[in-house]
Amino acid sequence: MNIGEKIKLLRMANGLTQEELANRCELTKGFISQVERDLTSPSIASLVDILECLGTNLREFFNETEDEKIVFQKDDIFIQEDTENKCEIHWIVPNAQKNNMEPILMILDEGGQSMIHDPHEGEEFGFVLSGTIVIHIGNKKYKAKKGDSFYFKPSRTHFISNGGKTKAKVLWVCTPPSF
């Protein structure tokens, strides 16, 4: 970890000059400059003061977290085939169960359907990419075709089925994750 560079980035993010930071920490501008260029190391007490003036603390400053993955490729997708229900579930974001929402791509063969989901907290959203589907919510059925979307609160038993004679593809997003 390059402490000086990280301090400089924090200082700049806070819109402070070296002199302004030095004044707030009761240090000299020259000392802040040397720290930022890694020519000297601050004492723990000085580092705590600097970080406090920058709106952070030792724990947050030294916490090395992995960069969050933003883009997912085909190799990241996990596919589960459900031959009994004639469908495939494509988990398009790995480990989405730890997130607030879980997107999947569901491919339903003719006569296929998703698993039946019990009522739960949250929301469900879907976009029909191809084919025709039927959304079953409790005792009601709603038909959706390519280009249509659906949205509901899953307070009743629900699932989708293929309502046509060709494969249907649906991008389905559930919150909280339950697939």
CATH class of the domain whose range is 74-175: mainly beta
Structure tokens, 143 = 């038909």
**Average pLDDT, 10 consecutive residues per value, the chain (179 residues):** 90 93 94 94 94 92 78 91 95 81 95 95 96 97 98 96 96 87
* Homologous superfamily of domain range 3-62: lambda repressor-like DNA-binding domains (1.10.260.40)
pLDDT for position 94: 81
Q: Is 55 helix (H, G, I), strand (E, B) or coil?
A: coil
pLDDT for position 35: 95
Return the domain boundaries, the chain: 3-62, 74-175
pLDDT for position 19: 95
Distance of CA 101 to the CA centre of its chain: 8
pLDDT for position 66: 64
Where does the chain have alpha helices with state H?
3-13, 18-25, 29-36, 44-53, 58-62
Q: Is the CA virtual torsion 133, 171, 175, 112 positive or negative? A: positive
pLDDT for position 65: 67
